[in-house]
Structure 1
């Protein structure tokens, strides 16, 4: 397989350099560009030559959502990973449902590991939505919201799906059979009124519901 071509748009020089060094030394990934801002990205990036873009949410001359949308207009298949120093996962809700697949979020202030970053890049390239595990694990359903219809186990499964885990990986994490996890996922879709659609990936739709209807726990 060809290595994933990754671009970085980050205005902080040290963080940009650290990301570049990490990605350049990772097997299966090729760093194709490291840009300092939105204008630099507009001048330097060719979306057709990028598989995944790591974009800082807050740039001095724009924002990651805008840069990501511009790249998507040129290359609809490009994966976008938004990076932010604050808990700003809700920013992904600004995306329309039909453009949400393949957009992910990682927090720069969490204990982000190289493994988690690479896994997010790989899953995002495949069209999944990955949310930072350090942030999702501190969330709970909003009272009287649609996620209240889920059992505790179903909410746990949904949270792991939001981290980008496949059903097989969720089964291994929870010590369940793959069939049990499949049943939980189907029950989640039914409870949230999510139907199969050629336009909207049901898993991405479920993750969007997780984003919209959870909040940080008081003690988290």
Structure 2
């Protein structure tokens, strides 16, 4: 990557956060923010193939999810690297897509990695083809302590990001029936069920919360 400038598309809902992140990234002379976009619709409309090297996208957008945006744009441009930016730990997505996405995905938690310089370095590394997992992430521990298999955890990681069964199947190279079977096993393992609440919602909330803290003593 020596001698070239990495072109970045930044997709973040909130205008002030978007401006601050763009300013922080552009303090690194290796980076140029060529798009500052507010959501899914703008990203899919304006990011053309081979015009961007790294997509930096917030995991939750007002009009969709960052995972969906990243997958859709990588379908158009397999050379595009994706860095998922979240307020917590969405590193399970990186594990779920490992070996499936055309380029490695990266994840940085804004809470665990607030330094703009660290984010800029992560973007450069993503452009170089590395899968970056930010400090404080749990990507090294499949299952996140929920008692799930790696395959079940991969499916749940994408479901927790708001993807449909069909989108999960496409992202992971599975059949829709396999996704349904994995989710049925997840619901049983987590005890997610009941007459009033969707087991899908309960399982996604459990994934996002992670394992319950151990009692002291």
TM-score by length of structure 1 reads 0.60
Instruction: Give yes or no for contact 1:102–1:126 (8 Å, CA) kept in 2.
Output: no
What is aligned with 1:79? 81
Q: Superposed, which structure 2 residues align to 1:197-212 within 5 Å?
A: none
Instruction: Give yes or no for contact 1:78–1:102 (8 Å, CA) kept in 2.
Output: no
Q: CA RMSD in A?
A: 3.0
What is aligned with 2:157? none
CA–CA distance in structure 2, aligned partners of residues 44 and 133 of structure 1: 31
Gaps of 5+ in 1: 147-214
Asked if 1:123 corresponds to 2:125, the answer is yes
Q: Superposed, which structure 2 residues align to 1:43-82 within 5 Å?
A: 43-82=45-84
Q: What count of residue pairs does the alignment treat as equivalent? A: 152
SS at match of 2:136: helix
Cα offset, 1:144, TM superposition: 9.4
Distance 1:86 1:99, change over 3 A: same
CA–CA distance in structure 1, aligned partners of residues 41 and 146 of structure 2: 42
Cα offset, 1:134, TM superposition: 2.8
Distance 1:137 1:88, change over 3 A: closer
Give the structure with the higher percent helix. 1
Q: Superposed, which structure 2 residues align to 1:29-178 within 5 Å?
A: 29-95=31-97, 97-99=99-101, 101-136=103-138
Distance 1:61 1:134, change over 3 A: same
Distance 1:135 1:100, change over 3 A: farther
Gaps of 5+ in 2: 150-209
